[in-house]
Chain A
Amino acid sequence: MHAIAHLATLTPLAVAAALQAEPATAEAASGVLGQQIVTGLSNGMIIALIAIGYTMVYGIIELINFAHGDLCTLGAFFALMLVGALGMEAWSGVAGMAGVVLLLAGAAAFCALFNWSIDRVVYRPLRSAPKLTLLVSAIGCSFVLVNLALFWGGLPMEVFGGGVAAAAPKDFPAMVPDSSLLPDAWDSWVSAEAFLRSSPSWNDPSVWWLTWAPRVALAVLVKSRELNFTTSDLLVWCVTLPLMVALTGLVRCTRLGKAMRAVAQNPTAASLMGIDVDRVIGAAFLIGGALGGFASVIYALYNNTISFQMGYRTGMDAFTAAVLGGIGSMPGAVVGGLLIGVARAISDGYIEARWTNSVVFAILIATLVFRPSGLLGAKLRDKV
């Protein structure tokens, strides 16, 4: 009770301070943490989306599909080619939104088919081979895809800078504006604040219990006004969250999902029950590839740069996320991805950028020491 009373006397002060401070100084500095978390979550969602691709394939055939990150690179190149071929850079408004949907659908279809073909051509003939053979072929696939992207970037198209420098980072047009959304939302709260201030109970300390909740809400809003939550952040969240929910639904509630879980548990028994194992595995590659395709477009629209090495690097982060969350576990991949995204942002913001990779791997090591199977992983089996 005493604590609450204490809080009540503090909050008006905090609100007053926050409202009066120069935007560039005190308020901005305290707003940085929230900003870093927003940035970290957005980055983390992209990582998580790719991590699901790793973890899904691993869950079913115990293969770390190293080519998955590079598949995303190809997805991004495909998207950029679509942008160039259809002249999407000039699309705006509704057409721009339709363009984004088209890119998402196009890249997802492309990556799904490509991933399925990789499985069909490379991994399927090796189904009964030792796990290490499969792993080495995955690394080989990764190299092939990187070089394919290098070749692709050298095509003489305007969006690739005329193809003069194949390996140069490519600018991906900002089809989703980077403008902040929150100041607009804030404006509608200004009138609410004026209304509150004019009410007699606001300035009457004896009825603090009536006003402390609005005061806290107001303080949070003042802080959030400083946040730079942009349309591209919104895009990342709006594409990623429903995809994760849909995927969980698919695995939990559909026949295909049931078949996948069965194959993951025991392929032989599953095939004895009449499940077409190859088809189920093919479906996993199809879905994982589609997610990779979505991730590649989100990545491209969020960062506005793609390069032939982007997938390798982001793939590393995603793979780390999958291991951190417990490889084979889809919720684990999501948690791992978000955790790594936020940890990176916090480390960049409060430690130093050059320590960021060390921080991420320190978290990974610390987690694996205490939970060898990852945060949400199943019990440990012999794995590659």
Chain B
Amino acid sequence: MKNRTLPLLASLALASVALAQTGTLKIVSSLPRTGSANAQTTSMVNGIKMAIDEVGGQIDGMKIEYEDMDDASPQRGNWDPAVEAQNANRAVRDESVIGYIGTYNSGASKISMPILNKAGLVMISPGNTYPGLTKPGMGEANEPRIYRPSGKINYFRVVPTDDLQGRVAAEWAKELGCTSVYLLDDRELYGKGIADVFEKRAKELGLRVLGREGIDPKASNYKALANKIKASGADLVYYGGTTQTNAGQIAKDLRSAGVTSKYMVPDGCFEEAFILAAGAENLEGRTFITFGGLPANQLQGRGAKFREAYIARYRVEPEAYALYGYEAGRVLLDAVKRAKAKTREGVLEAVRSTRDFEGALGTWSFDENGDTTSRIMSGQSVEGGKFKFVKVLGQ
């Protein structure tokens, strides 16, 4: 047995080294491709592909290969820890992989970050907004240390984090004239995290927090909860959650219980699927959505050009996160170009030293934690069954 497997392993390793040397560099992405986030992730993958095509699919004569991995399973209809771990391990084993774009869900990154960190493979997330992944003191006591077993930083993100988004959301709520708020969260990393930040800022601003509940994201309805919220008389309901964790059902049950308050949700609901799930009439004129960035049709300069090219190529409007897929792809490829040695270490070093990058959202850098310095946020409402840009937030 031993005699048989060893040569096999050796030849496999040789083969992959040979592959790397023949001039193929591989980029993988790990996003939930099965499930309701699919429309969002499809447009992110499209964004990555556009970034690769912009450099002609090769850098310094080395071919850039791309693999679109799925971190969701049909059973969960959402990201799956087992699948995410499998994806990370597969990327680590494949020597030609020099960059890992992902994940969409912050919880998924908790799984893959330590795996990729040990292997020294650079990871750029186009979607994670949970602060604890990078910022010391923002999450659990042992965060982000536990994600960096090697002690070095290999994780970067191109989206502003929830500690910024939850903050501006609370400020916006106050601006909208709300004085009391009822907070809900889906008990997931992202949803609970952003609701925590919202709660903290809301109290600072003098908004009364009338209740805070973690809900069951798979319940068939929230009518009993809506009755309770109605009795509380809150004039805003804030839900830290996503379309996948039933943000649409909550909107329906609030309306049918006769709750007349406003309803605010974070960027996890900034997708067409949210309006489809909730039914436009349940959101109309009362729903407010924050987003860590600008919607595609508000983009200027390079971002506007991206939108134009995207529509020309795919014949649809890009979803909110398409731009971040594109941005993650571009900043990675830019680092590959700058890297002296086209190895994992070389690329990681180049990504880390990204400063004043000419991005689609303006000029930004990666800070010492691996976060983008970009701070542009926006607020949306729903009108006529569509998202409508209201204003730039937090500036």
A188, chain B: closest CB distance, angstroms: 21
Contact B273 A168 (CB under 8 A): yes
Alpha-carbon distance between A39 and B277 when the two chains are bound, in angstroms: 22
Contact B35 A167 (CB under 8 A): yes
Q: Which of B106-114, B154-162, B221-229, B292-300 contacts A (4 or more CB under 8 A)?
A: B221-229
Contact B227 A303 (CB under 8 A): no
- Size bracket, chain A contacts: 35 or more
**B313 interface residue per 8 A CB criterion:** no
A45, chain B: closest CB distance, angstroms: 13
- Which listed residue (A146, A164, A166, A305) contacts B249, Cβ 8 A? A305
A178 (CB) vs chain B CBs: closest residue: B256
**A180 interface residue per 8 A CB criterion:** yes
Contact B227 A36 (CB under 8 A): yes
Specify which of B34, B227, B228 lies most central, judged by the most chain A CB atoms within 10 Å of its CB.
Answer: B227
Count, A-B residue pairs, CB within 8 A: 136
Given contacts A32-B231, A353-B214, contact A169 B246 (CB under 8 A): yes
Contact A168 B277 (CB under 8 A): yes
Alpha-carbon distance between A165 and B231 when the two chains are bound, in angstroms: 36
Beta-carbon contacts under 8 Å, A304-347 to B: 304-305, 307-310, 313-314, 317, 344-346
- Which listed residue (A25, A178, A354) contacts B213, Cβ 8 A? A354
Contact B256 A305 (CB under 8 A): no
Specify which of A36, A147, A166, A169 lies most central, judged by the most chain B CB atoms within 10 Å of its CB.
Answer: A169
**A382 interface residue per 8 A CB criterion:** no
- Which listed residue (B187, B219, B256, B279) contacts A313, Cβ 8 A? B219
Contact A150 B74 (CB under 8 A): yes
A225, chain B: closest CB distance, angstroms: 13
A164 (CB) vs chain B CBs: closest residue: B39
Alpha-carbon distance between A309 and B220 when the two chains are bound, in angstroms: 10
**B248 interface residue per 8 A CB criterion:** yes
**B339 interface residue per 8 A CB criterion:** no
A350 (CB) vs chain B CBs: closest residue: B228
- Which listed residue (B37, B213, B224) contacts A39, Cβ 8 A? B224
Beta-carbon contacts under 8 Å, B236-270 to A: 243, 246, 248-249, 252, 255-258
Alpha-carbon distance between A171 and B255 when the two chains are bound, in angstroms: 15
Beta-carbon contacts under 8 Å, A145-179 to B: 146-147, 150, 161, 164-171, 173-174, 178
**A84 interface residue per 8 A CB criterion:** no
Q: Which 4 A-B pairs have the closest CB atoms?
A: A168-B36, A348-B224, A345-B224, A178-B256
B residues within 8 Å of A by Cβ?
A: 34-39, 74-75, 77-78, 184, 187, 213-216, 218-225, 227-228, 230-231, 233, 243, 246, 248-249, 252, 255-258, 272-273, 276-279
Q: Assuming A39-B227, A309-B77, what are 12 further A-B pairs, CB within 8 angstroms? A: A35-B227, A165-B37, A168-B35, A168-B36, A168-B276, A169-B243, A169-B277, A303-B249, A304-B252, A348-B222, A349-B224, A352-B213
A residues within 8 Å of B by Cβ?
A: 24-25, 28-29, 31-32, 35-36, 39-40, 42-43, 46, 146-147, 150, 161, 164-171, 173-174, 178, 180, 228, 230, 232, 299, 302-305, 307-310, 313-314, 317, 344-346, 348-349, 352-354, 356-357
